A and B are shown apart, each in its own frame.
Chain A
């Protein structure tokens, strides 16, 4: 993969040993693993919040004190427990970002994130999922090169999360955005282009999500649950009832009972 953002030989506390991860430009990458594998810490390190100690590279340059401010502009993150805003409402917050050029974009995001009615509502009166969407909107208006998301799906229903992902993917294409998302739900990795499974401080598995997710025994062993349709397909393959993984329920039913 072409290198864009990289962690090289990272050793951090007793969480990571010589961990190396590479994130190419304009790709959607998921990071997963069992609880306590360090997913949130990785987001903090990649965001520059935790001093990377000469392990973090962006466009082949080491991120250090002298270039960290530029890095902060290019790489922005959402950690749900740590959402900070300067003002009280979205309307007040957006003023510093809004230009003629991005007005249309703002309206598009407002509509797609269902935030139009919340523009003037105090952040204190909003739920965490509404605040996450607001933060996401503000970041996207700001046009970063890399967007880091820490397990945001926990706060949304399946349908709501799919809507957000659809919107993000459109953005990814237009703005050439790289998205790195941690998730504890392997089902969500199916939306992404590449998957890293981190376990015991190292990259345990990596590759295209479907190629990884079919390794049911290995994943179950480390406490990860397969998406239902992948699990069903893999087990039906063992009985020679299907030839390959089928993610669509309707098609699976048609294949089984012709």
Chain B
């Protein structure tokens, strides 16, 4: 589902932006939480917003809210005493979802994220960090959203689990045609996994486009206090200080080969 903002109020400025269907996009910057709230349709602002072919209005905003799922950074502590089943039932109630067979829907959502039904009776506080993230993802999938926003998904995950979660998300994206929006203050993850990137400042969008191109605007990004992936910052420094002709890489092994060729 394509998202189109036309002269839409964002931080008291007009936002014009199209997020294509079935894409993998990253967002970063000091106002990412405000942007997430905008994407989640928490309020309807001045301007025009289309989801697919439909204009979002006061009348239909509730319906479209269900098309967008937000995976928060962590589970709220107040839910820790609940079992996974109670948590998912609570989510169904909160989001006003209705299913003919609730138990089946819950089991199916858990299955997609790789958790079996034995998790249903486990209290949230007994789950590992990764298991909690997967449960949150299962909760999001219950509403079958077209767009999934993942807030700081990778923070706290080790390399093995980071890769595991990313493989799962790519499978879900491909199989169910979802748009994935990764929001993070860590641009290293966004550089690694997102095809395009939106950089936000206090006043709106600073830059938007293919991730590699956006992140190569080093001077502008630094001026706006956006932390760069260190691999990119190092390359920039070598180019600027020593006029070395090395390329921007994502993998450290590639930059090592490039350095070897150019020293």
- A-chain residues with CB within 8 Å of residue B128 when the two chains form the complex: 35-36
Tell me if B238 and A256 are in contact (CB < 8 A): yes
Given known A-B contacts A34-B158, A82-B77, A228 and B242 have beta carbons under 8 A apart: no
Bound-state CA distance A178–B73 (Å) is 30
Residue among A34, A82, A159, A228 with max Cβ neighbours from chain B (10 Å): A228
Decide if A220 is an interface residue (CB 8 Å cutoff): yes
**Number of A residues, CB within 8 Å of B:** 30
A36 to B126, CA, bound (A): 11
Q: Does A232 lie within 8 Å of B159, measured CB to CB? A: no
Chain A nearest CB, measured from B187 CB (Å): 10
A249 within 8 Å of B by Cβ? Answer: yes
The stretch that binds A, out of B36-44, B175-183, B214-222, B225-233, is: B225-233
Contact of A35 with B227 at beta-carbon distance under 8 Å, contacts A81-B80, A253-B234 already known: no
Known A241-B260, A241-B263; contact A257-B242, beta-carbon cutoff 8 A: yes
Contact of B234 among A225, A239, A252 (CB under 8 A): A252
Nearest residue, chain A, Cβ from B185 = A157
Interface residue? A217 (CB, 8 A) = no
- A35 touching B129, Cβ below 8 Å: yes
Given contacts A235-B256, A257-B263, contact A157 B227 (CB under 8 A): yes
Interface residues of B in 144-160 (CB under 8 A from A): 152, 155-160
Contact between A154 and B227 (Cβ–Cβ < 8 Å)? no
Residues of B within 8 A of A228 (CB): 230-231, 234, 252
Q: Which chain B residues border A256 with CB–CB below 8 Å?
A: 238, 259, 263
What residues of A have a CB within 8 angstroms of the CB of B237 in the complex? 249-250, 253
A229 in contact (CB, < 8 A): yes
Nearest B residue to A158 via CB reads B227
Answer whether residue A236 sits at the interface, using C-beta atoms and an 8 A cutoff: yes
Q: Smallest CB–CB gap between A120 and chain B, Å?
A: 23
**Docked complex Cα distance between A256 and B230 (Å):** 17
Any B CB within 8 A of the CB of A130 = no
Which chain B positions have C-beta within 8 A of A30? none
Per-residue contact bits, chain B 246-263, to A (CB 8 Å; 1 contact, 0 not): 000000110110011011
Min CB distance, A189 to chain B, in Å?
14
Instruction: Specify which of B74, B161, B234, B263 is in contact with A232 (CB 8 Å cutoff).
Output: B234
A224 in the interface (beta carbon within 8 A): yes
**Cβ of B244 under 8 Å from chain A:** yes
A188 within 8 A of B: no
Give the nearest-CB partner of A84 in chain B.
B77
Contact B155 A154 (CB under 8 A): yes
Docked complex: A27-47 residues within 8 A CB-CB of B = 34-36
Q: Which of A34, A159, A254 contacts B160 (CB 8 A)?
A: A34
**Using Cβ atoms and an 8 Å threshold, which residues of chain A touch B17?**
none
Q: Which residues of B contact A241 (CB under 8 A)?
A: 259-260, 263
Whole-angstrom distance from the CB of B257 to the nearest CB of chain A? 9
- Is B58 located at the chain interface by the 8 A CB criterion? no
Within residues 2 to 54 of chain A, which ones have a CB less than 8 A from any CB in chain B? 34-36
Q: Which residues of B contact A154 (CB under 8 A)?
A: 73, 152, 155-156
Which residues A233-258 have CB closer than 8 A to chain B? Answer: 235-236, 239, 241, 249-250, 252-254, 256-257
Q: Which residues of B contact A (CB under 8 A)?
A: 73-74, 77, 80, 128-130, 152, 155-161, 185, 225, 227, 230-231, 233-234, 237-238, 241-242, 244, 252-253, 255-256, 259-260, 262-263
Q: List 20 A-B contacts (CB under 8 A).
A: A34-B158, A34-B161, A35-B130, A35-B158, A154-B73, A154-B155, A184-B158, A220-B159, A223-B158, A224-B159, A225-B159, A229-B230, A232-B255, A235-B253, A239-B256, A250-B237, A250-B241, A253-B234, A257-B241, A257-B242
Q: Which 4 A-B pairs have the closest CB atoms?
A: A223-B160, A228-B230, A257-B242, A223-B158
Given A81-B77, A223-B159, A235-B256; 14 other pairs, CB 8 A cutoff: A35-B160, A36-B130, A82-B77, A220-B159, A225-B158, A225-B159, A228-B230, A228-B231, A228-B234, A232-B234, A239-B256, A249-B230, A257-B241, A257-B262
